[in-house]
Amino acid sequence: MRELEALFATRTRDAWARLGREQDLCLTPVLEGDEPRHDPQLAARGVFGEVATPWEGRAIPAFATPVRVDGASARWRAAPTLGQHTDGVLAECGFTRGEIAELCARGVAGVGRVQLGER
């Protein structure tokens, strides 16, 4: 590991990338921060997009799923709002409508129990 660290320290990241291109090596730099958004290959693959968040009145950056079936990709859509699927998830877990209503009334489940940012 030390030998590899010492070897990679002998050139800059850009110099290693240039060497990889010149010698036709499978050598790709690790992109940081906003660099992936400007990568031509990632842009050509449609990796980045934006998803509307109607409850916030804006769009947020998002990654596309890497899975493609017959060249088609999944459509962009907003994440569910907080608590949007509570009833369905609890019903799938075997809770009755009455039990779900009671859990929500007691603040155990549903919107209001978990605030964004809380853990």
Residue 102 confidence (pLDDT):
92
Are residues 37 and 69 both part of a single domain? yes
Are residues 74 and 91 both part of a single domain? no
Are residues 10 and 40 both part of a single domain? no
Q: Is residue 96 part of a domain?
A: yes
Count the domains in the chain: 3
- Structural domain of 1: 1-30
Round to the nearest angstrom and report the end-to-end CA distance of the chain: 37
Residue 21 confidence (pLDDT):
93
Are residues 42 and 7 both part of a single domain? no
CB-based contact 17:29 (threshold 8 Å): yes
Q: Is residue 24 part of a domain?
A: yes
* 51-72 tens-digit pLDDT: 888 778 888 888 888 787 887 7
Q: Locate all alpha helices (DSSP H) within 1-119, ordered by sequence.
A: 2-8, 13-22, 40-44, 86-92, 97-105
Answer yes or no: pTM beyond 0.75. no
Share of the chain above pLDDT 90, in %: 40
Please tell me what DSSP assigns to residue 62. E
